Amino acid sequence: MKTIYIGLLGCGTVGTGVARMLTQNQDILQARVGAALKLKYVADIDIQRDRGIAFETGVLTTDAGSVVRDPQVDIVIETIGGLGIASALILEAIDNGKQVVTANKALLASQGNSLFHAAAEKGVELAFEASVGGCMPVIKTLRESLVGNRIQAMSGILNGTCNYILSKITDDGDTFEAALAEAQRRGFAEADPTLDVEGADTAHKLAILTSLAYGTHLNLKDIYVEGISRITPLDIEIAAQFGYKIKLLAISKNRGNMVEARIHPTMIPCDNLLSSVNGALNAIMITGDAVGDILLYGRGAGMMPTASAIVSDVVDIARNLLAGAVGRVPVLSYQRSHIHSIPVMPMDDIISSYYFRFEALDQPGVLSKISGILGTHGISLKSVHQKGRKSEGSVPIVMMTHLAKESNVQAALSEIYRLEVVSDVPALIRIEDANESA
Ligand code: HSE
C-alpha cells in the first residue's frame, strides 16, 4: 500500500488536534483513502510539552524549514497562524512542490491572491477548509456541492467569540467583559481578541467566502466592518421585546456587477434560523438560484472540529495524488481565467431597514423634531417607542424604519445628534428581515 507523508507545522491547539486525528483514526483514514497517511514530522518551537500523543522517535522537530524541504514529504499542514513565518513556510513548501493545507484565514484574506497564484504556477494544491467556520464544510459546499448554482446571498455567524459574548449577555445577563474572559478561557478567542470583537476575524472569513461564491479576487480592504463592542445590554433587551436577536452577521449579496460584503451587528427576527445559533457555534445560510436556502451549522473553532476540516483537506489531496488529479477542483471554485475584480458596493449605497435608539429629553416637540429630520432624508418610520418616562434627564426613544439608504441614514443621524435635546450618540443597528428586504 502506498504511503503519503505529511509534515505538520505548528503543534498548538489545532495542530495537536490534527496529530491526534491522524494518529487515532489512522485505520479509517487508510480504509477511506486507500493509502497510509503517515505523520512524518511535527514541527514546533516547543517539543517538550506533553500533548498526549505517543509520537515516534524523530517525528518532533524544532526545524520547520527541514520539513518543507524534505523530498519525501507530500503534504505540508500549516497550523502556526499569523502572517510572518507561516507565509514564508507556505511559500517555501509550494516552491518545493508540496501540497499545502492551512487554516490561516488572516493570511489567506491578506495574501491569498499571491499564495494561490504561487500554488497554481507550481501545480500544487493549497487547501483551506478550516479557515472558515471550523468543522462546517462551507468551502466544499460553495466550491463543489453548489457548483451549479448562482450564489445570490450568504449570511453567517462566523465568529464564535462574538456569538458567545452576545448569547451570554442575552441569555444569562453576563457583562461583555465577563463573557469575553470566558471565551478566552475556553480557547475560542484569537490571541488578540480585538480581532474577534471588532469584526476583523469575521472579515477575513467573509473575504474568502465572497471570493469563492462569485469568482472575485480576495478583497479584504473594501469589506465594511463593525464589531460588537458598542452593543449595549439595553439594545439587546429592547431587541428581545420586539422579537429580535442581535447577532454579528457576515452578509454578502450578489448585486450583479457588484457585491455587498459587510459585517456588523444585525437584528434578526426570532423566527430566523440564525437567531437560534447560540454560544460559540457558527452557522451560515447560503442562497443559491437552484437550491434556495441551505444552512450549515456547527463548531466554528476548537481543537477537534478544526482538525476535522484540516484532515478533510488532507484526504482530498491524498485522493487526488493517488488519482493523479491534483488541481482537479479550482482552488477558488472558478477557473483562474474567470476570476475578476468585482467591486464591493460602497456602504453608503446599501439599502436596509434600521433600529435607532436616541437618548433625548422627555419634552414636547422632541419626537417631531427627530422624525422630521428622518422624514427630510426620505426615511420612513415603521414604529416609534419611548421607553420609560422621567421628570428630568433623557429617555430612550426607539425607532424602527422601513427600507432606507445608508447614506441618508448617516446624514440624518448626524443632524439628529446635533440637536440640543439629544444627549448621546444615537445607537444604530441594521435589521435583516425577510419581510422587508432589498
Ligand atoms: N476566534 C475565532 C472565533 C476562532 O471565535 O470564531 C475560529 O476562527
| pLDDT at site 386 | 87
Domain with CATH 3.30.360.10 in the chain: 138-299
> CA-CA distances (angstroms) from residue 316 to 75, 91, 320, 371?
11, 21, 6, 57
At residue 158, φ and ψ (nearest 5 deg) are -120, 5
Whole-angstrom Cα distance, residue 246 to residue 159? 14
Ligand 1, pocket-test mutation among 190, 297, 303, 306, most atoms within 8 A of CB:
190
| pLDDT at site 390 | 62
**Strands, E, within 215-322: which ranges?**
224-225, 244-254, 259-269, 281-288, 292-299
| pLDDT at site 25 | 97
Query: How do residues 313-345 score in pLDDT, each as one tens digit?
Result: 999 999 999 999 999 999 999 999 999 999 999
Which residue, judged by its Cα, is nearest atom 7 of ligand 1? 301
Ligand 1, pocket-test mutation among 139, 201, 278, 297, most atoms within 8 A of CB:
201
Query: How do residues 386-425 score in pLDDT, each as one tens digit?
Result: 877 665 678 999 999 999 999 999 999 999 999 999 999 9
Which ligand 1 atom lies nearest to the CA of residue 195? 1
Domain boundaries 348-431, corresponding CATH code: 3.30.70.260
| pLDDT at site 191 | 86
Q: How far is the centre of ligand 1, averaged over its atoms, from the C-alpha of 170 (Å)?
A: 20
Cell of residue 81, nine digits:
497562524
| pLDDT at site 436 | 80
Q: What residue ranges of the chain have pLDDT lower than 50?
A: none
Q: How far is the centre of ligand 1, averaged over its atoms, from the C-alpha of 266 (Å)?
A: 19
| pLDDT at site 315 | 98
Domain with CATH 3.40.50.720 in the chain: 3-134+303-332
At 3, which helix (H) or strand (E)?
A: strand 3-9
Which ligand 1 atom lies nearest to the CA of residue 159? 6
Whole-angstrom Cα distance, residue 149 to residue 138? 15
| pLDDT at site 389 | 64
| pLDDT at site 96 | 98
Q: How far is the centre of ligand 1, averaged over its atoms, from the C-alpha of 396 (Å)?
A: 34
| pLDDT at site 391 | 58
Active site residue 205: yes
First to last CA, the chain: 56
Ligand 1, pocket-test mutation among 186, 188, 202, 308, most atoms within 8 A of CB:
188
Q: How far is the centre of ligand 1, averaged over its atoms, from the C-alpha of 310 (Å)?
A: 15
Cell of residue 5, nine digits:
507523508
| pLDDT at site 407 | 98
Active-site pick, 98, 122, 205, 247: 205
CATH superfamily membership of 138-299: Dihydrodipicolinate Reductase; domain 2 (3.30.360.10)
Which residue, judged by its Cα, is nearest atom 8 of ligand 1? 301
Q: How far is the centre of ligand 1, averaged over its atoms, from the C-alpha of 264 (Å)?
A: 16
Residues with Cβ within 6 A of ligand 1?
Answer: 159-161, 188-190, 196, 201, 300-301
Which ligand 1 atom lies nearest to the CA of residue 162? 5
Helix/strand/coil percent split, the chain, to 5: 40, 25, 35
Burial label for 257, CB within 10 Å (0-12, 13-18, 19+), is exposed
CB atoms near residue 26 (< 10 Å): 14
The residue to which cell 482537479 is assigned: 328
How far does Cα 254 stand from its chain's mean position?
Answer: 18
As a three-state string, the secondary structure of 327-352 is CCCCCCCCCHHHCECCCECCHHHCEE
Residue in 136, 122, 20, 120 with CA at minimum distance from that of residue 77: 20
Q: How far is the centre of ligand 1, averaged over its atoms, from the C-alpha of 273 (Å)?
A: 21
| pLDDT at site 208 | 98
The class level of CATH for 3-134+303-332 reads alpha beta
At 308, which helix (H) or strand (E)?
A: helix 303-323
What string of DSSP letters covers 83-100?
SHHHHHHHHHHHHTT-EE
Which ligand 1 atom lies nearest to the CA of residue 105? 8
Which ligand 1 atom lies nearest to the CA of residue 131? 8
Burial label for 116, CB within 10 Å (0-12, 13-18, 19+), is buried
Burial label for 29, CB within 10 Å (0-12, 13-18, 19+), is buried
